[in-house]
Amino acid sequence: MFESDEQKKRAELIITLLAKLYVVLELSGDDCPVCHKAHPHDSECPISLAWSLLTEEEQHDARNTIRTLALTIGAEEPQADGMVH
């Protein structure tokens, strides 16, 4: 399917980025910018398809990575109650 290792690596990177976008949209509650639906996505949405290509472990890792990033960003903003949720 891929002519070179470079093409395969690019495809893997695109899938990973789309899958992480899936998590960001899941956490934000915003409609998908691609299929324009709230969670769950349209069955043919590239973001949803990329997510489905990940193993459960990869999905878990992607969720943890995005949540950690979100908490880090949130921790830099002043908190009214002093707790990080």
81: its two tokens: 């109650």
The pTM (predicted TM-score) of the whole model is 0.64
Number of helices (H), then strands (E), in the chain:
3, 0
13: its two tokens: 């990177």
> What is the chain's alpha carbon radius of gyration, rounded to the nearest angstrom?
15
- Structurally, the chain folds into a number of domains equal to 1
Q: Print the domain residue range for 68.
A: 5-73
Asked if residue 11 belongs to a domain, the reply is yes
Residues 44-62 pLDDT 10s: 888 888 888 889 998 898 8
Asked if residue 80 belongs to a domain, the reply is no
Residues 69-81 pLDDT 10s: 877 877 544 444 4
